[in-house]
Structure 1
Amino acid sequence: MTRAPTAAQRRVIDAADPDTGRLRGTEAQLAALVKRGLAFRHPRPPHAHFLTPAGHRIRESEPAVPEEAEATEARGVFAARIGGAEGAPASGPARLREVRGAWQGLLELRRMTNPDGAVDRPCGWERTHLVQAAALALEAAGHPPAGPDSEEGYRVRATPQPEAVAVHEVDGARLRACATTLEEAGWQVGEHTESRTGVRYLLASPRRM
């Protein structure tokens, strides 16, 4: 799991442009943030550095006090709830703030890395982190993830198909609502039925155009 940023790195993150997430710092500082997944280097000149969704989450969070440093390090950076596999789903204002910051960071990442600057279509990072990206879209829209011992709530899982995830939800109405959310977030979604169990589920892929 990614370690929490150092105090110097946190200052660089906190000083990022509030609108674009552009960073300013030494080459060593910026390289370290890239290595930790908190920043990315834009492929086009002047090759500026910008916050990733995880970096935005750090900026939106409250600074960790010294007594909390060990817990913060263990907690690491933001991870969307994929449903079922984690512990009890986090809730409350702190989690809402984290999710909101991560989603805004992802939209900015789309704007900066999609060739046409589109924010209504998934970017390259999402295509290499399909489960996390789909789960973030669902959680940011207010859908509850399933707990480890609960049948209710969404579950996002990888599939053998390239660029496709499966989304399960026991409630049919909620399943359709999940489909609407993903479509609005730029995903192509189809509803399918498992031949053996008859269970309905979604198959979702990032839209390219």
Structure 2
Amino acid sequence: MSRSPTAAQRRVIDAADPVTGRLRGTEAQLAGLVARGLAFRHPRPPHDHFLTPAGHRVREAVPEEGGEAVVRSAAAGGGVFAARVGGDDEEAAGPSRVREVNSAWQGLVELRRMTNPDGATDRPCSWERTHLVRAAALALEAAGHRPAGRGSDGYRVRETPQPEAVAVYAPDGEALRACAATLERAGWQAGEYTEPRTRARYLLASPRRA
């Protein structure tokens, strides 16, 4: 049984040609995949590397622990990406952040396609259901909503005691309704509620199943 690929090797596998399984990567990455039985070196020039059947299975399986890698490495350059949930310690976003968020969102849409049983991209996948706060925050940020941060107000996504539900707060009713519309387009269902003690309005949002 082959060892699991490293994060760098996983990115090489994910980037393989969808039809031929042809791989691109460093010599060390490709050699490592060969050693794990996930790739082979073609005997004829130019001696390209291709996925083995085991490599194809790894690519198609997208295990649950790999879900976060897909989203996090989707940012340009494969760097670490974290969705902004809104907090006083978060910095304002710059142009590079916008590109990273868009790339991460496209990675998440692709993860939906690969892991939802019917290949649907219009509703959340299992990774999102186990990372509710980050998944909802990514959907909001990718749509252009601004998270709360230092010296600025915006959305805040927080955990709730309810299973498969997050709370979303916004500066005012209009912003809250805009967040609800964005989440619904992203495959979530959202309802507006009032906190009994503070009378603050918020959204209770959960991933849609069908």
TM-score normalised per structure 2: 0.71
Q: CA contact under 8 A between 2:67 and 2:127: conserved in structure 1?
A: no
The question of 1:208 aligning with 2:206 is answered no
Separation of aligned partners in 2, 1:86 and 1:18? 41
Partner of 1:146: 148
Partner of 1:16: 15
Deviation at 1:86, TM superposition (A): 3.9
Greater relative contact order (CA < 8 Å, ≥ 6 in sequence):
1
Which stretch of structure 1 is more off in the superposition, 98-107 or 49-58?
A: 49-58
- Could you say which structure has the larger radius of gyration? 2
Say which SS state the counterpart of residue 57 (structure 2) adopts: coil
Separation of aligned partners in 1, 2:172 and 2:182? 15
Partner of 1:110: 112
What is the RMSD computed on CA atoms of the aligned residues? 3.2
Question: Amino acid of the residue matched to residue 193 of structure 1?
Answer: T
Cα deviation digits, residues 30-83 of structure 1 (max 9, x gap): 8xxxxxxxxxxxxxx9523257464465355248xxxxxxxxxxxx61100000
Separation of aligned partners in 1, 2:122 and 2:209? 10
Q: CA contact under 8 A between 2:71 and 2:81: conserved in structure 1?
A: no
Deviation at 1:12, TM superposition (A): 2.2
**Which of 86, 95, 98 is the matching residue for 2:97?**
95
Q: CA contact under 8 A between 2:160 and 2:166: conserved in structure 1?
A: yes
Counterparts of residues 54-133 of structure 1 (less than 5 Å): 54-55=69-70, 58=73, 60-62=75-77, 77-84=80-87, 86-92=89-95, 94-133=96-135
Deviation at 1:87, TM superposition (A): 2.5
Say which SS state the counterpart of residue 166 (structure 1) adopts: strand
Aligned residues with identical type, % of pairs: 62
The question of 1:177 aligning with 2:187 is answered no
Question: Amino acid of the residue matched to residue 48 of structure 1?
Answer: V
Partner of 2:195: 194
Question: Amino acid of the residue matched to residue 57 of structure 2?
Answer: H
Cα deviation digits, residues 73-100 of structure 1 (max 9, x gap): xxx61100000154313322x1111111
> Which structure 2 residue ranges, 5 or more long, are not aligned?
1-5, 24-29, 39-54
Q: CA contact under 8 A between 2:72 and 2:104: conserved in structure 1?
A: yes
Deviation at 1:176, TM superposition (A): 0.3
Separation of aligned partners in 2, 1:104 and 1:9? 20
| Moved segments of 4+, more than 6 Å | none
Q: CA contact under 8 A between 1:135 and 1:156: conserved in structure 2?
A: yes
Q: CA contact under 8 A between 1:131 and 1:158: conserved in structure 2?
A: yes
Separation of aligned partners in 2, 1:187 and 1:59? 22
Q: CA contact under 8 A between 1:137 and 1:181: conserved in structure 2?
A: yes
